[in-house]
Structure 1
Amino acid sequence: MLRIGIIGTGGIADAHIEGYRAFPETCEIVALADVVPGKAHDKALAFGLTEVAAFDDPRAMLAEARLDIVSIATPPSTHAALAVAALDAGIHVLVEKPMAPSLEECDAMLAAQRRSGRMLSVVAQNRFRDDLATLKDVVDSGMLGSISHIRVDSAWWRGLPYYDLWWRGTWEKEGGGCTLNHAIHHIDLLLWLLGSPTEITAMLANAQHENAEVEDLSVALFRYDRGLAQLTSSVVHHGQEQAIVIQGAHARVSQPFSVVAERSRPDGFPEPGGDPDVVSRIDALVAARTPLAHLGHEGQIGDLLAAVREGRAPVSTGQDGRNAVEVVTAIYKAGFEREFVALPIAASDPYYRAGRLVANAPHFFEKKASLIEAAS
């Protein structure tokens, strides 16, 4: 029976608690920790975890609770130090997105993983959604042909009070705005589907949140071989209509799922009715899929538990988390410096280092509130 601890008992910790509780035959939650006095105890009571030890010091929990796995669900600026401490203590780590605010910190986490021999997994719960796993299967099948263009809309909406929470809305504590903390999911999916781009450029703005230093909107362009991708990261989009649209040589697939395929007339214009053969082949592939047994955080936690038992890598690794942070870093560098940024980003690049982004980031506005708890 694997012994589980969770550091950070804010809202996202609920998904971790429920995820572990879905596998009672494999693991048990034995400890919770939060730096706010009493908060871990209150979270344990709320979930009926009467036998769980509650700590106000995360490092005390790592030292005393005899853990096999720890979930880190704290603000991004704390991820690296906590993950390194846990790995060095011989504990497997599942860390919330984003992995860390800088590539330097990501690499410190990966170094700790290598020297400890433990596992490091970064939350990428959207890989464990049937609609998105379907896109992955279609892309991997090769039925689309070479990829021409991908449009990713990471479209969310948040009101002004969202940035009143103490760690949100600042470059130092949150590490960035919607690009890092919301679109990181879609960036991970883009990399999962297509791999890393070779070049990125971007523009950033704060369109609607006068109480935050960080951006609430960014638009980035990516170069992929002969094709291009575009990513909109936002917390100003009413309706929160998120989408991924992949255009290949033979067909288009998208999430929400649909498939369209054109066929050329002799003069190059599209044939009415498209190409039903291509559509039917893709539809058959989709229909033959076995649905995922566990979804979201529960799916990722189940995969990590299985990976520990089987001695294999988890579906979402520390390197995957670093790759997503590298893309975010390139978007910020491109937006701040108004340039094209080539990937990979070298360790000699100033933006690789912790603190450089904070030093160079524009303050669109100044933070006006610093609440310990978000308003309910």
Structure 2
Amino acid sequence: MFRIGIIGTGSIASAHIGGYLAFPGECEIVALGDVMPGKAAQKATEFGIGGAVGYDDPLRMIAEAELDLVSIATPPSTHATLSIAALDAGVNVLVEKPMAPSLEECDAMLAAQERSGKVLSVVAQNRFRDDLATLKAVVDSGLLGSISSVRVDSAWWRGLPYYDLWWRGTWEKEGGGCTLNHAIHHIDLLLWLLGRPTEITAMLANAQHDNSEVEDLSVAVLRYEPGLAQLTSSVVHHGEEQEIVIQGAKARVSQPWRVIAERADGGGFPAKGGDPDVVAAIEGVVAAREPLAHSGHTGQIADVMSAIRHGRDPIAGGRDGRNAIEVVAAIYKAGIERTFVELPLAADDPYYRAGQLVERAPHFYEKQSSLVEAAS
């Protein structure tokens, strides 16, 4: 029976708690921690976890609670410190996205994982969705041929009060805007599907949130060989219509699901009826795929516990979390410096180091309100 702790008891902690409660025979939540006095105990009561101890000092919880696995669901600026403390105490870690605001902090977390021998997993719950696992299976099948173009719309919408919470809307505490804290999911998916790009350029803007320092919109172009990917990161898109469209040499697939395969007529134009054989082959891959047993955070929690039990790497490990942060850092560098950025980023690059983004990033606006608790 795994002894589970959860640090940070805000809204996202509920997804972790629900995930662990789905496996009553495998784990037990024994401790919750939050720096806000009484908040951890209140969360335990809310979920009926009577046996869990509430801590107002997360580091004390790590030291005293005899944990096997801890979920870290705190603001991004605290992820590295808490993860390293847990790993060095011999506790496996599942840390919320983004892994950390800087590559330097990510590498410190990876070093702690290496010396501890424990599991470090970064939340990437969209890898545990059936529709996106289907897209991955089709890409891996090779039926698309070489990838020409990918369009990723990480489209969200947030009103002005969203940035009133004390840590949001600041480069220092949140680490960035929608590129880091919303599109990180889609960036992880892009890396999962296609691997690391070779070059990135981007533009940043704050179009609708005059109570926030950070961007609420960015558009990036990523170079792959032989094609390109376009990533829109946004919290200004009404309807939150998110889409991933992958164009290959032989066919196009997307989520929401759609598959099209063209074939050329004698003049090179699309022939009537397309290529039904390619479409049928792709749909065959989709039909043959076995649905996931668990989805979202619950699916990732199941994978992390399995990884601990069997001594294997998790599906979304620390290296995956770092790779996503590298893309974010490159987007910020490209947007701020108005340049093209080659990957990988070197350790002597200013955008690799902790704190350097805070010094270089533009303040689109100044934060106007700082609430301790988010409005309901």
Same fold, TM-score > 0.5, yes or no: yes
Q: Does residue 136 of structure 2 align to residue 120 of structure 1?
A: no
Q: 2:320 aligns to what?
A: 320
Instruction: Tell me the CA shift for residue 226 of structure 1.
Output: 1.3
Q: How many Å separate the matches in 2 of 1:25 and 1:258?
A: 39
Which string of whole-angstrom CA distances, capped at 9 and with x for unpartnered residues, describes residues 115-171 of structure 1? Answer: 011010000000000000000000000000000000000000000000000000000
Instruction: Tell me the CA shift for residue 296 of structure 1.
Output: 0.1
Q: 2:89 aligns to what?
A: 89
Which string of whole-angstrom CA distances, capped at 9 and with x for unpartnered residues, describes residues 294-349 of structure 1? Answer: 00000000000111111110000000000000000000000000000000000011
Q: How many Å separate the matches in 1 of 2:323 and 2:99?
A: 10
Q: How many Å separate the matches in 2 of 1:280 and 1:162?
A: 45
Q: How many Å separate the matches in 2 of 1:50 and 1:369?
A: 36
Give 3-state SS (helix, strand or coil) of 2:173's partner: helix
Give 3-state SS (helix, strand or coil) of 1:196's partner: coil
Q: 1:353 aligns to what?
A: 353
Instruction: Tell me the CA shift for residue 203 of structure 1.
Output: 0.1
Give 3-state SS (helix, strand or coil) of 2:322's partner: helix
Give 3-state SS (helix, strand or coil) of 2:148's partner: strand
Please tell me the residue identity of whatever aligns with 1:20.
Answer: Y
Q: How many Å separate the matches in 1 of 2:334 and 2:315?
A: 30
Q: How many Å separate the matches in 2 of 1:351 and 1:11?
A: 30
Instruction: Tell me the CA shift for residue 225 of structure 1.
Output: 1.0
Alignment of 1:273-288 (within 5 A): 273-288=273-288
Q: 1:45 aligns to what?
A: 45
Give 3-state SS (helix, strand or coil) of 1:70's partner: strand
Instruction: Tell me the CA shift for residue 24 of structure 1.
Output: 1.0
Please tell me the residue identity of whatever aligns with 2:291.
Answer: P
Q: How many Å separate the matches in 2 of 1:334 and 1:270?
A: 37
Q: 1:221 aligns to what?
A: 221
Q: 2:185 aligns to what?
A: 185
Alignment of 1:106-255 (within 5 A): 106-255=106-255
How many equivalent pairs are there?
376
Give 3-state SS (helix, strand or coil) of 2:172's partner: helix
Q: How many Å separate the matches in 2 of 1:19 and 1:144?
A: 35
Q: 1:258 aligns to what?
A: 258
Give 3-state SS (helix, strand or coil) of 1:221's partner: strand
Instruction: Tell me the CA shift for residue 25 of structure 1.
Output: 1.1
Q: 2:366 aligns to what?
A: 366
Instruction: Tell me the CA shift for residue 20 of structure 1.
Output: 0.5
Q: How many Å separate the matches in 2 of 1:23 and 1:12?
A: 18
Structure 1 residue ranges, 4+ long, deviating more than 3 angstroms after superposition: none
Structure 2 residue ranges without an equivalent (≥5)? none
Instruction: Tell me the CA shift for residue 350 of structure 1.
Output: 1.0
Give 3-state SS (helix, strand or coil) of 2:193's partner: helix
Which string of whole-angstrom CA distances, capped at 9 and with x for unpartnered residues, describes residues 204-223 of structure 1? Answer: 00000000000000000000
Which segment is superposed worse, 182-191 or 282-291? 282-291
Which string of whole-angstrom CA distances, capped at 9 and with x for unpartnered residues, describes residues 161-220 of structure 1? Answer: 000000000000000000000000000000000000000000000000000000000000
Please tell me the residue identity of whatever aligns with 2:297.
Answer: H
Q: 2:13 aligns to what?
A: 13
Q: 1:79 aligns to what?
A: 79
Instruction: Tell me the CA shift for residue 42 of structure 1.
Output: 0.4
Structure 1 residue ranges without an equivalent (≥5)? none
Q: How many Å separate the matches in 1 of 2:8 and 2:194?
A: 33
Superposed CA RMSD: 0.4
Which string of whole-angstrom CA distances, capped at 9 and with x for unpartnered residues, describes residues 232-276 of structure 1? Answer: 000000000000000000000000011000000111001011100
Give 3-state SS (helix, strand or coil) of 1:344's partner: coil
Q: How many Å separate the matches in 1 of 2:350 and 2:182?
A: 24
Instruction: Tell me the CA shift for residue 227 of structure 1.
Output: 0.2
Please tell me the residue identity of whatever aligns with 2:288.
Answer: A
Normalising by structure 2, report the TM-score.
1.00
Q: 1:59 aligns to what?
A: 59
Q: 1:3 aligns to what?
A: 3
Give 3-state SS (helix, strand or coil) of 1:192's partner: helix
Q: How many Å separate the matches in 2 of 1:62 and 1:159?
A: 36
Q: How many Å separate the matches in 2 of 1:93 and 1:284?
A: 38
Q: How many Å separate the matches in 2 of 1:336 and 1:270?
A: 41
Please tell me the residue identity of whatever aligns with 1:78.
Answer: T
Please tell me the residue identity of whatever aligns with 1:278.
Answer: V
Q: How many Å separate the matches in 2 of 1:44 and 1:26?
A: 19
Q: How many Å separate the matches in 2 of 1:190 and 1:58?
A: 33
Q: How many Å separate the matches in 2 of 1:362 and 1:272?
A: 51
Give 3-state SS (helix, strand or coil) of 1:9's partner: coil
Give 3-state SS (helix, strand or coil) of 1:171's partner: coil
